[in-house]
């Protein structure tokens, strides 16, 4: 299975596929200055044993070192529901600042209530920088800008860097359709609007997705273009209006079980990837609320 792929250009983009969570991590670099950003890094977690590891994050660091790159940013597109963020670990290793959309505070406020954390600081201080719609930044000499892309979550943003856009869980590959909008704070109408804004980018803009679930057991893929998505995405082709898309999305979402790590991951990811503090025995603990997501479909698969 191909889990690494290089897309040359300005910026150069390298994707690393994590088979355990079907997630894609990116190293995005300026080929002139050798400066780079890391987007949506994964901290390994085995829910059956409770083990934490840094295999995937170290793979990113190994690539950065082998290419002589300097990390300028560690970026998350939103607080993920299916894997832990390795942002804090990579900050410790590189010294680069972490960043996310300022709208993360809305997600923090929502989930601090679910976890019954009345004293949790829901002001985004867990990151070094909070981006808002229209903000600009640089990776080397390449300008990036921020698009607010809510719908999948309240906080989702798209990073447009040069001729590439990192669209997180808004769009999947064309044969995979679009992301769900039924998480706490999700909204199918806002997802439609966010997709339309992404598809208004220039036709040749390279689009990089946050996940790939390999429909039909094909090899993992994570790159397309605005033109290809507009013309061939199965959900947009079959539901070309806002009303039809919203109906399709709501019907599909009602049948989808929640990600198996959502209650584990959000309590780490609204902390910017920082793990819970050790208790008096030196061990860290996750807090799993029961009946926290009423109405969610059950996963009938047998383990």
Retrieve residue 252's tokens.
Answer: 């599909």
Strand 223-225 to 206-208 pairing = antiparallel
Residue pLDDT, tens place only, 9-56: 999 999 999 999 999 999 999 999 999 999 999 999 999 999 999 999
Please state at what angle helix 188-199 crosses helix 242-253, rounded to 10 degrees: 130
What would you measure as the largest C-alpha separation in the chain, in angstroms? Answer: 57
Instruction: Assign 172 a pLDDT band (cuts: 50, 70, 90).
Output: very high
Count of H helices and E strands in the chain?
8, 16
Q: Quick one: average pLDDT of 178-188?
A: 96
Q: Which of 54, 130, 140, 35 is nearest to 93 (CA)?
A: 54
Mean local confidence (pLDDT), 191-212? 98
Domain 4-258 classified CATH 3.30.360.10?
no
Report the pLDDT averaged over residues 272-293.
96
Provide the whole-model pTM: 0.96
pLDDT surpasses 80 at 300: no
What integer is the mean pLDDT of 107-118?
97
Asked if residue 168 has pLDDT above 70, the reply is yes
Cα–Cα distances (Å) from 73 to 26, 53, 163, in that order, read: 12, 22, 18
Q: What confidence tens digit (pLDDT) does each residue in 211-244 have?
A: 999 999 999 999 999 999 999 999 999 999 999 9
What does the pLDDT read at residue 301? 59
**What is the tens place of the pLDDT at every residue in 73-83?**
999 999 999 99
Question: How many residues comprise the chain?
Answer: 303
Confidence of residue 303 (pLDDT cuts 50, 70, 90): very low
Other CB atoms within a 10 A radius of the CB of residue 92 amount to: 8
What distance in Å separates the CA atoms of residue 69 and residue 105, rounded to the nearest whole number?
Answer: 32
């Amino acid at each position: 299975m191909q889990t690494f792929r290089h897309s040359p250009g300005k910026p150069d983009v390298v994707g690393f596929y994590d088979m355990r969570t079907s997630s894609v991590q990116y190293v995005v670099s300026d080929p002139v200055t050798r400066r780079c950003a890391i987007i949506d890094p994964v901290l390994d977690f085995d829910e059956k044993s409770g083990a934490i590891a840094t295999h995937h994050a170290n793979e990113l660091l190994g690539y950065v070192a082998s290419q002589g790159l300097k990390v300028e940013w560690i970026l998350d597109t939103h607080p993920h529901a299916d894997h832990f963020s390795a942002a804090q670990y990579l900050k410790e290793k590189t010294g680069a600042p972490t960043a996310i959309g300022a709208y993360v505070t809305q997600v923090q406020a929502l989930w601090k209530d679910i976890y019954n954390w009345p004293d949790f600081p829901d002001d985004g201080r867990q990151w070094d920088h909070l981006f808002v719609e229209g903000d600009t930044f640089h990776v080397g000499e390449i300008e990036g800008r921020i698009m607010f892309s809510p719908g999948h979550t309240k906080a989702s943003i798209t990073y447009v860097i040069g001729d590439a856009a990192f669209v997180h869980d808004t769009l999947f590959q064309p044969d995979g359709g679009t992301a769900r909008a039924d998480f706490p704070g999700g909204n199918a109408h806002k997802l439609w609007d966010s997709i339309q804004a992404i598809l208004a980018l220039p036709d040749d803009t390279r689009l990089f997705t946050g996940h790939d679930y390999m429909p039909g057991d094909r090899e993992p893929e994570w790159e397309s273009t605005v033109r290809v998505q507009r013309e061939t995405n199965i959900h947009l082709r079959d539901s070309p209006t806002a009303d039809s898309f919203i109906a399709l999305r709501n019907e599909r979402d009602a049948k989808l079980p929640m990600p198996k790590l959502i209650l584990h991951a959000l309590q780490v990811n609204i902390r910017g990837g920082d793990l819970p503090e050790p208790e008096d025995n030196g061990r860290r603990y996750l807090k799993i609320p029961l009946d926290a997501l009423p109405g969610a479909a059950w996963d009938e698969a047998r383990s």
